Structure formats: structure tokens, C-alpha cells
Structure 1
Amino acid sequence: MSRVGVLVMGPAGVGKSTFCNSIISHMQTIGRRAHIVNLDPAAEPNKYEFTVDIRDLISLDDVMEELDLGPNGALIYCFEYLMKNLDWLDEEIGDYNDEYLIFDCPGQIELYTHIPVLPNIVRHLQQQLNFSLCATYLMEAPFIIDSSKYFSGSLCAMSAMILLELPHINVLSKLDLIKDEYNRKKLKRFLNPDPMLLANEVEDVNPKFQKLTKSIANLVDDFGMVQFLPLEANNPDSIETILSYIDDVTQWAENQEQKEPNDQIDIEEM
């Protein structure tokens, strides 16, 4: 039977840990279980403890102190160390066959663009541990309602989509931070956006930047895959909708073992 895993990605501060905790909280209310696998060597647990924590193998603070590295260099060192010790990850993950494993990833995009760390971990989980995986990429709603920033975020999401080669869901987080009615209405245009229309709204006095924006818009439009699901962390309906998409792409229901009914009918009594 295939295991199910969800990679939670996005820039630092976008709400990845809150999203992870919200999914677990919702699953508990509907009788399902999930565990957080922390792949961020600088992260601290929030509402729920980490079931698997990379800091038990290597810590960002320790690397920075002992090797005199900055945060980004130390993070890359931590993941290179993890790649040399994937047997530790295999042992820690254990036999979670019927439960979701939620992989909380660091926010540094270079881990899957500049160096192939996350793509290699994804392949290991798929090929060696038989995981059915889904990638979720979070972006902040207050950030994306600026058309120019929308294109910047979309390129990051597309980069993750292409390099990880996984079923991919984009999520728009922190909707609750947008209070005024005007911006909430404006936000709806970004859930299923028209890139070319948004490109025409970007104001820039430099013709070269205008041309670049339209080229990026063409790229996003050609892919036709940069759409967003709205996330309100304290809204059960919002979490349930996103979880249903994750279930669909990971085929969670199809991968569950058929259980015998509690009350068997005696054939002789029929």
C-alpha cells in the first residue's frame, strides 16, 4: 500500500507551520491522523509536536556556530548532511501506512532551484519508501494582490512545480489579514487569474520592464496551472476544501485497505 505525504512549501513567514497544524487539527475532528515531519533545521514546534524532526539529526544553530557559516550556507550544509544520512530519515518515518505525513519544508527556494536537494528527497520518498506525494505551495494573500508581486510569486510556484515533478496545489494563505471589502473583492481575481489581463495593469515607466512582465505573463498563461485555493487557517470549511484536493491528487481513498464490516451476515441465515 502506498503511503501519503504532503510537502508544504513557500517563502519564510508565509504560514507553512500554521497550515500544517490546521490540517492536523481538522483531521483529528474527522477521525483521521497525521504527523508533521519537520525538514526545517531552524524551526520550532507550534501547536503540535514534530513526529520526525531533522534537528534530532542536525541543527542549524549548531552548524552556524561550529562551522562559522551564515544561515543560508548552514541550511545547505544541513541538507547535504541529511542526504548522506537518508537511512536516518527512513528509520524515523517508520511504518506510517494509514496516516498522512506532512513534510514542513524550509522557505529557501534555492533548495530546489540552485541545488537539487528537495527533488532528490522527493525521489527517495517515492522510489525507496513508496510514498504518494503532493506538493502544496503557499503564498500570502496580502502579497499577491499587487499584480507585479503576483508574477514574482507565480514564477517561484512554477519553479517548484517543474523541478519537483509532483502533483501540485497552490494555496493563498492569510486571507484573514485582508479586512477591507475592496481588497477582498480584488483578491478573487487572483484565485483563477488571467495573467495577460494582470500584466496590462502593471504600471512601470521602463519599457524594458513592461516587456519582461508581459513575457512572464505569457509564460504563466502558457502553463495555465498557476491557480490558487484560498486558505483561512481558522475556517474548517477552507481546510476541508484544500484537504479534499490533496486527497484527490494523492488518491488517498483508493490506497486505503478495505476493512471488513463489523457485523457479518451469516449466509446460512439468509
Structure 2
Amino acid sequence: FSMCSRRPQSSLCFGQVVIGPPGSGKTTYCRGVQEFLNHLGRKVVVINLDPANEKLPYQCAVDISELVTLDDVMEGLKLGPNGGLIYCMEYLTTNLDWLESKLNEHRDCYFLFDCPGQVELYTHHSSIRSIFAQLTKWNFRLTAVHLVDSHYCADPAKFISVLCTSLSTMLHVELPHVNVLSKMDLIEQYGKLAFNLDFYTEVMDLSYLVEHLAFDPFFKKFHHLNKKLAEVIQDYSLVSFVPLNVQDKGSMMQVLRTVDKANGYCFGDLEERNLQAMMSAAVGADFQFNSTLGVQERYVESNKKTLEEEVMEL
């Protein structure tokens, strides 16, 4: 008999499935959240579901490489990286009893699922959705945390593309969903934003962004297409972002509260006490860096200065 058959049906397990394109910071996020939650006193385990992950920077409780690896699939079946990754996920769906038995060893924990970075898995293919659906049947209450690199904000065309991908992912995955702009501590290195940061996090009136694209000769001929894409995104009215600097306590806390609200997890008294202690810690302690809000304020102020200089020049 499956070990899961002995689990009480009323026993709930909470956690996050961390998804997003390659290079968006999923593994770094899992490491940061694991350390952050350990400081809060929440017992947490990380589950690696990415068969392409070779060197994991965090302590891993369950690793899919024990079942299948991308290198073995590519070599044995003569597949490319994309085809090999899809095969690995399909292989996992046919061996969910292995995953079930591994997860049952940590049933009293909070779960972080580090997922593969192939975008097609979250917008078109059914394997990942089937895995998430099975986890839900096993009484997991999960939130999909979709990471997007914040540098896309600096390019209006790429940002519209990110919005379309995020919306498609939300509709396909069918889980409570939180979109996160990662690497906010590096946003000032990506160049000047066309609008203030809250325009991108709240996904305000995209007509301004479409008009901004019209000034580019290359995108001018795609004006009608971009306009219709923006209308689709706004008609659904689902996409918004939470900014994240994984090294900042306040930023991590904002994301964690949003995720916990999405899947119904409630803070315990111990976590609240530990959180208050962390937030009041002296400068130089773990996670004590410049806040994401501070990054935003400095960036907005620098834009204002630039605008004032331009006015003076005129």
C-alpha cells in the first residue's frame, strides 16, 4: 500500500512551487526562503524537481536526480535539452508513487518545490500541471511563485511579452498565483525605466507603455498588435507583481506574507516573535541590506533629477 494511504485526509501541507524562466533566480530564491524561514522558526524542506540542477546551493530533502537526470535522458534517448526536460517531467508523472513516498517522510514541514525553467512546461505542456494537480489531491495547499527578472521592466516590448507569459502561466497552472519581480537590488543597473516602479508592479494603464513603444521605429509597425495584447492583459485584470530583493528582510517578508495569504497559511506566535526580533536587529545582521522600497525611492528620485535637468536644458 502507498504510504499516502496512511495520511489523515484532514492533514494539510502548505508550500510553494517556484516557477519561472531560466535565470530568473528560482534556485537562489529557494535558498533564501529556506534560510529566512529557518530564522522564523518554520520547519521547511526544499524539493528539487529540476532534473537539470546539478550543484544545489541549498540543503535538499528530495531530489529528482535520484529518479531521473537530464544528462542521462539526453545521452540515452538522443534528445536535446528541451525535449529531454519534457521527457523527464513526463517520466515523473508516471512515477508519482516515488515522489509520494519521499514527501511523506517530511509531512510536518513547509515545502518549497524548485521547478524546471522551461517556459513551455507552464504555458503549453500538461506534465507540470498534472504533478501540481496530484499534489493538491494529496492535501498540499500550494501557491505558484512565478519569478520574473526585473530587468525586463527596462524594455517595454519585453515587459509586454513577460505579461503575456505570466497571464498564460496563471491560466494554465491553475493554482493560487503570485508573480514576483526578482533581483530588485540590481534594477538600477538595467537602465532608466520609462515609468515609476509601481507602474510595473501594479500593471497600470498599459496604453502608456504601448504609446512609448510607438517611438521606436522597429515597433511602430507592430503598434496595433501591441495594443491588442495590452487589451487582453488588462481585460483579464489578473497580473500584478511583488518586488523582491532576496537579501532584504522587508522584501522577503512582503513576498512571504503575500504567498501565505494566497494559500491560507497563518502565522504562528513563534514566527511573529522571531520576525519582530529579525526586523529590529542591528544593521549588519543576516538579511539586513538596503530595502527594495529604498531602491525604488532612490530610482524614482534619480529620475526626477534627470527630468529637472532636462527641463533646465529646455
Give the TM-score taking structure 2 as reference length.
0.76
Paired residue for 1:105, among 87, 112, 115?
A: 115
Q: Deviations over 1:117-143 (max 9, x none)?
A: 11101110111x111111111111112
Q: Which has the higher mean CA deviation after the structures are superposed, 22-31 or 40-49?
A: 40-49
Which one-letter code corresponds to 1:158 in the other structure? L
- Whether 1:201 aligns to 2:184 is no
Residues 142, 5 of structure 1: alpha-carbon distance in 2 compared, 3 angstrom cutoff: same
Q: Deviations over 1:3-48 (max 9, x none)?
A: 1121111110110111111111111111112111111101134431
CA contact (8 A) 1:3 1:96 kept: no
Which one-letter code corresponds to 2:127 in the other structure? V
Taking every aligned residue pair, what percent have the same amino acid on both sides? 38
Give structure 2 stretches of 5+ with no counterpart: 1-10, 270-314
Paired residues, number: 255
Q: Which has the higher mean CA deviation after the structures are superposed, 133-142 or 174-183?
A: 174-183
Give structure 1 stretches of 5+ with no counterpart: 257-270
Match in the other structure for 2:23: 13
Residues 40, 63 of structure 1: alpha-carbon distance in 2 compared, 3 angstrom cutoff: same
Q: Which has the higher mean CA deviation after the structures are superposed, 238-247 or 38-47?
A: 38-47
Q: CA deviation at 1:182?
A: 4.7
Match in the other structure for 1:124: 134
* Cα distance in 2 for residues equivalent to 1:169 and 1:247: 10
Match in the other structure for 1:148: 157
Q: CA deviation at 1:243?
A: 0.5
Q: Which has the higher mean CA deviation after the structures are superposed, 129-138 or 107-116?
A: 107-116
Residues 188, 182 of structure 1: alpha-carbon distance in 2 compared, 3 angstrom cutoff: farther
The 3-state SS of whatever aligns with 1:4 is strand
Residues 209, 88 of structure 1: alpha-carbon distance in 2 compared, 3 angstrom cutoff: same
Match in the other structure for 2:48: 38
Q: CA deviation at 1:145?
A: 2.5
- Which structure: greater helix fraction? 2
Q: How does 1:1-270 map to 2 (within 5 A)?
A: 1-127=11-137, 129-179=138-188, 182-183=192-193, 186-194=196-204, 195-203=206-214, 204-205=217-218, 208-253=221-266
Residues 196, 184 of structure 1: alpha-carbon distance in 2 compared, 3 angstrom cutoff: closer
Which protein has greater RCO, CA pairs closer than 8 Å, 6+ apart? 1
Residues 54, 46 of structure 1: alpha-carbon distance in 2 compared, 3 angstrom cutoff: closer
The 3-state SS of whatever aligns with 1:139 is strand
Which one-letter code corresponds to 2:261 in the other structure? D
Q: Deviations over 1:220-256 (max 9, x none)?
A: 1111121110100110111111001111111112899
Residues 165, 27 of structure 1: alpha-carbon distance in 2 compared, 3 angstrom cutoff: same
Alpha-carbon RMSD across the aligned residues, in angstroms, is 2.1
Q: Deviations over 1:44-67 (max 9, x none)?
A: 344312111111000101111111
Q: CA deviation at 1:208?
A: 5.0
Give the TM-score taking structure 1 as reference length.
0.88
* Cα distance in 2 for residues equivalent to 1:248 and 1:255: 14
